[in-house]
A and B are shown apart, each in its own frame.
Chain A
Amino acid sequence: MYAVEIEGLEKTYEPVPFSNNTKASRALDGVSLKIEHGTIYTLLGPNGSGKTTLLRILSGLIPPSAGKAKICGIPIENQTEISKKIGFLWPGRTGLWPFLTGRQNLKYFACLYNMLPDLADSRISELIKQLDIRNRADYPASSYSSGIFQRFLIARAMVHNPELLLMDEPMVFLDLPTTRELHSLLREFVIQDMKKTIFLTTHQLEEAQTISDVLGFLHQGKLVWEKNASIFRDNRENLLSEYLLAIKNGAP
């Protein structure tokens, strides 16, 4: 069983009444892919290629127009079960209430996941210890540096012990040292220690080739190619060429 199985996924946004948006737009056009457990799958693609739409469909935020998708064998239509299997990270300095401490934020999200208070407390203590954020856990989130903030976001995404982390351009606003810190954290903590799966989207080629096991390229709603990331690791130019070529070939 795969962590993610997608088959012929399509999404068309209908026109919005009383607006300038009078034409239907096709965001995904028959996307099929599979992601193995314990791997990092990175979806590359230019703006508007459908990356965020795909993540939103997988997380149950929007329904697909056609096709099927399963997470850990559970169809995405089963929203309640799916929400227990996935954690989510959005870009930027959002995702924590700034007036709550890190620990209180984690308790808040554990509460949203209907976790029992005792179970939540022990899980939060474990995560805080593993992510090495004990000394900041009782300070307000507004006082955190970007690196600490990201660690708490990972703790928040993992609080209900999901199988899959969905990350939509998670490093887009981060500086290089923080990005590298986050890369090693994801690889060592989420993949090696916790044995989870990560599905992320990005434009950043360096990030993609450093962190990923498998790369996919989405363009105009279609999955143009899928490759093992290790073949690009020694030569960044190769990935750049593949990226530009895919855009050129995919363009109408």
Chain B
Amino acid sequence: MTVLNLFKKFRLLIGTFYKQDSQLLFSLLPRYLWAIFICMIYRFVFQAALSGKSVHVDQYALPFPIFLISGIASVRLLVFSLRIFEDTIANIRKSVPLAELLMTPTSLWEIMLAHTAWKGFLAINELIAVLISSKILLNIPLSPFFLFPVVVSGALTVLSYAGIGMTISAANLFIKKADPIFTILNQISTAFCGVFFPIALFPSVIKLLALSLPLTHGLNIVRLSLAGASLDKIAPSIIGFTVITAFFMLTGIVLLQRSLVWAKKNGKL
């Protein structure tokens, strides 16, 4: 086989996988984001290691381990809530044709609400379990009143990402190619919402992006409560986050409802 033929063969083989990914931009973008994220976290970890602690952690006056643990535990909330609609549908389709459920007087929204409630309960439990474990195993001080803000923040994070997820699902019903947006949004949130390092570290443009995403606000409330802030101090953050959640939820519901009507009319559900 000549070199040219070998080249053509590999071009064909690689081309097949390229077609499988279908959208080059969507398959490369998460990888670039991941590279930026890795650079940022190393920079932060080195900074923390050299100085004993990072100046940015002073934002909450939290020890680095609890700052990191609360971030990692919270990021689990968005993993399922983003895909709540897609997962509910996939979960149903595994055993029961979706049509059979849609033919009953119970609406898809009621089934989704039940799914969200159960998954949200599990995820918030996991968050609390991680925080309590860190107190026991790492001897990290926790305020006895940390639970209430953590539960509220967890619930709002789940709801707001469910709203964003429904918006993406609405697009997915319509154009069938929006799936990679879930991965990209998940990675953007993980990288830039202060999971591993405070958003104060970022340039103002990325800070703005971080502030527009719900996880930033959720983590802020969790960390304030872990730092022992009083409810008076946390309340404005909770109110602000509630407004953001309401916006994302309403947008998601309206767009998904419209897409569902369209998909139903055209037999695409």
A60 within 8 A of B: yes
B103 touches A90 (CB 8 A): no
Mark interface residues in B229-269 (1 if CB within 8 Å of A CB, else 0): 00000000000000000000000000000000000111111
B175 touches A61 (CB 8 A): no
Chain A contacts of B101 at CB under 8 A? 112
The contact size tier of chain A is 20 to 34
Mark interface residues in A1-28 (1 if CB within 8 Å of B CB, else 0): 0000000000001101111000000000
Known contacts A19-B176, A90-B97; is-contact A114 B264 (Cβ 8 Å): no
CB proximity of A18 to chain B, nearest CB, Å: 4
Known contacts A53-B267, A61-B99; is-contact A17 B104 (Cβ 8 Å): no
A84 touches B266 (CB 8 A): no
A113 touches B104 (CB 8 A): yes
A63 within 8 A of B: yes
B64 within 8 A of A: no
A80 touches B97 (CB 8 A): no
Chain A contacts of B176 at CB under 8 A? 16, 18-19
A99 to B104, CA, bound (A): 21
B267 touches A56 (CB 8 A): yes
**Which of B101, B106, B265, B266: most chain A CB closer than 10 A?**
B266
Chain A contacts of B100 at CB under 8 A? 88, 90, 95
**Which of A16, A83, A111: most chain B CB closer than 10 A?**
A16
A83 touches B103 (CB 8 A): yes
- Selected from A13, A88, A112, the residue in CB contact (under 8 A) with B99 is A88
A3 to B97, CA, bound (A): 25
Chain A contacts of B174 at CB under 8 A? 17-18
B20 within 8 A of A: no
CB-contacts of B2-44 with A (<8 A): none
A97 touches B177 (CB 8 A): no
A14 to B263, CA, bound (A): 11
CB proximity of A55 to chain B, nearest CB, Å: 9
Known contacts A13-B267, A14-B266, A16-B266; is-contact A114 B105 (Cβ 8 Å): yes
Interface residues of B, count at CB 8 A? 21
A33 within 8 A of B: no
Q: Closest residue of chain A to B269, judged by CB?
A: A61
CB proximity of B133 to chain A, nearest CB, Å: 29
Known contacts A61-B103, A86-B103, A88-B103; is-contact A13 B175 (Cβ 8 Å): no
Tell me the interface secondary structure of chain A in the complex.
Answer: loop
A60 to B103, CA, bound (A): 7
Known contacts A13-B266, A63-B265; is-contact A83 B99 (Cβ 8 Å): no
Chain A contacts of B266 at CB under 8 A? 13-14, 16, 62
Chain B contacts of A95 at CB under 8 A? 95-97, 100
B96 touches A94 (CB 8 A): yes
B267 touches A62 (CB 8 A): yes
A61 touches B102 (CB 8 A): yes
Q: Closest residue of chain B to A100, judged by CB?
A: B95
CB proximity of B263 to chain A, nearest CB, Å: 10
Q: Closest residue of chain A to B106, judged by CB?
A: A112
Chain A contacts of B269 at CB under 8 A? 61
A88 to B100, CA, bound (A): 7
A59 to B102, CA, bound (A): 9
Known contacts A90-B100, A98-B95; is-contact A18 B175 (Cβ 8 Å): yes
CB proximity of B194 to chain A, nearest CB, Å: 35
| The 7 nearest A-B residue pairs measured at CB | A112-B104, A112-B106, A18-B175, A90-B97, A97-B95, A59-B103, A62-B267
Question: Can you report 10 residue pairs joining A to B where beta carbons are below 8 Å apart?
Answer: A18-B175, A56-B99, A59-B99, A61-B99, A62-B267, A94-B95, A94-B97, A109-B104, A113-B104, A113-B106
